[in-house]
Amino acid sequence: MADKARKSILVALGVLWLAPVYLMLANAAKTNDQYGVVSVWQAVGVSGLLENMAAAWDRGDISEGIASTALYSIVSPLLAVLVGAAAGFAIVALRLRHGFAWFVLIFSSTVFPLQMILMPLFIGYVEVGLYDTRIGMILIYAVISVPFSAFVMRNFFSGIARQVFEAAVVDGASSWRIFFRIYLPMSTSALAAIFILQATFIWNDLLLGLTLTQSSDTRPVMTALSALQSTYGGSTMPTVLAGGLIVSIPTVVLFLLTQRAFTRGLALGQF
C-alpha cells in the first residue's frame, strides 16, 4: 500500500513538472496567427516549430550566446572544482591551522544575496577593464562557484581514511603529488556532480549577464534570450518560446549523459 502511494505521488509530481514543458512545446509550435486564438493547452502540431526556432536563432544572437555560455560553463566550473578541491584537501588532509575558520570564511560568501554586490562589482569591473569581457565572466562565475565546491569536497575528503595520506607521506610523496595522484582520482564522482551543478547554474544565469556584459559576442545565452522579448527585440511569444527550447536542450543533454555520475556524486559527496 505504501509503495502504491509513493508511486502515485511520484507520478503526480512528474506530471506537475512536465506541465510547463508541455506548454512550452505546444505554444512554441504555433504560428503567429494561432497564438492567442487557440488555447495555450491545445497542441496544433509542429508546423511552426522549426520556423520559430530558426527565427529565434537568427534574430536573438542566440548562436553567439550559446558559444559564450558554453565557454563559461566549462572553464569556470573546472576552475572552481580545482580550487574547491584544493581548499578541502588543505583543510582536511594537510590539517591547515585554523582550518575550520578558513572553511567558514570561504563558505560565508554564500550568506549574502548576489544582488547586494552587483553595484560594487559593476564599478570594479569597469575600473579594471573586465566589464564586457569573457575573461571577466569566467572569473566571476568561477569565484561564486568555489564556496559550494569547497563545501562538498571538504565533506568528501573527511570520509577518506587518514591512513591513506600518512602512507603516501611515508612513501615519500609530496603534498601536490598526493593531491593530484591520490585524492583527486578518488573523488571523480563528487567532482563530476559539482561540475554538473555549477555548469547548469552558469548556463541558466541571467542576472550577471545583464549586469556585466553588453556586446552580443560576450553576453550569455540567457541574456540574449531575454533580448528577444524586449522592446527592441520585437519577437512574438512563439519565437521566444522556441528560443527557450533551444537554450534548454544543452542542459538536458548534459544531465542525461552524466546522470549516473551525478547520482553517484550526490551520494558520495554527502550533500
Question: For the domain that residue 262 is a member of, what is the CATH number?
Answer: 1.10.3720.10
Shortest CA distance to 84 belongs to which of 208, 161, 179?
A: 179
pLDDT for the residue 265: 60
Cβ within 8 Å of residue 80, ≥6 positions away:
141, 142, 143, 145, 146, 148, 149, 194, 198
Statement: residue 132 has pLDDT above 70? yes
Do both 78 and 35 map to the same domain?
A: no
Secondary structure (H, E, C), the chain: CHHHHHHHHHHHHHHHHHHHHHHHHHHHCCCCCCECCECCCCCCCCCCHHHHHHHHHHHCCHHHHHHHHHHHHHHHHHHHHHHHHHHHHHHHCCCCCCHHHHHHHHHHHHCCCHHHHHHHHHHHHHHHCCCCCHHHHHHHHHHHHHHHHHHHHHHHHHCCCHHHHHHHHHCCCCHHHHHHHHHHHHCHHHHHHHHHHHHHHHHCCCHHHHHHCCCCCCCCHHHHHHHHCCCCCCCCHHHHHHHHHHHHHHHHHHHHHCHHHHHHHHHHCCC
Statement: residue 259 has pLDDT above 60? yes
Do both 31 and 122 map to the same domain?
A: no
Do both 55 and 174 map to the same domain?
A: yes
Statement: residue 233 has pLDDT above 60? no
Tell me the C-alpha distance between 62 and 227, whole Å.
Answer: 10
- Mean pLDDT score of the chain: 84
Q: Provide, rounded to the nearest whole percent, the portion of the chain with pLDDT above 70.
A: 92
Cβ within 8 Å of residue 73, ≥6 positions away:
199, 200, 202, 203
Do both 79 and 160 map to the same domain?
A: yes
44 contacts 30 by C-beta, under 8 angstroms: yes
Convert the pLDDT of each residue in 146-194 to its tens digit. Answer: 998 998 888 888 888 888 888 988 888 888 999 999 999 888 888 888 8
Higher pLDDT, 250 or 140: 140
pLDDT for the residue 252: 83
Query: What average pLDDT score do residues 58-81 get?
Result: 88
pTM of the model: 0.84
Domain boundary (30, 45, 60) is at: 45
Q: Provide, rounded to the nearest whole percent, the portion of the chain with pLDDT above 90.
A: 23
Domain with 34, as residue range(s), is 1-45
- Specify the range with the lowest mean pLDDT, choosing from 21-25, 71-75, 145-149: 21-25
Do both 53 and 33 map to the same domain?
A: no
According to the per-residue pLDDT averaged within each range, which of 21-25, 64-68, 80-84, 218-222 is highest?
A: 80-84
In the block, residue with C-alpha cell 571577466: 136
Shortest CA distance to 207 belongs to which of 115, 137, 113, 145?
A: 115
pLDDT for the residue 231: 46
With cut-offs at 50, 70 and 90, classify the pLDDT of residue 230. Answer: low
Do both 9 and 59 map to the same domain?
A: no
- Specify the range with the lowest mean pLDDT, choosing from 16-20, 37-41, 107-111, 263-267: 263-267
Cβ within 8 Å of residue 110, ≥6 positions away:
147, 148
Do both 106 and 17 map to the same domain?
A: no
Statement: residue 271 has pLDDT above 50? no
Do both 91 and 134 map to the same domain?
A: yes
With cut-offs at 50, 70 and 90, classify the pLDDT of residue 225. Answer: confident
Do both 12 and 62 map to the same domain?
A: no
Statement: residue 234 has pLDDT above 50? yes
Higher pLDDT, 124 or 216: 124
Do both 41 and 57 map to the same domain?
A: no
Do both 13 and 109 map to the same domain?
A: no
Query: What average pLDDT score do residues 28-47 get?
Result: 75
Do both 230 and 173 map to the same domain?
A: yes
Statement: residue 36 has pLDDT above 80? no
- Specify the range with the lowest mean pLDDT, choosing from 43-52, 94-103, 187-196, 256-265: 256-265
Per the structure, the count of domains in the chain is 2
Vertex 216: Cα angle to 255 and 227 (nearest 5):
75
With cut-offs at 50, 70 and 90, classify the pLDDT of residue 81. Answer: very high
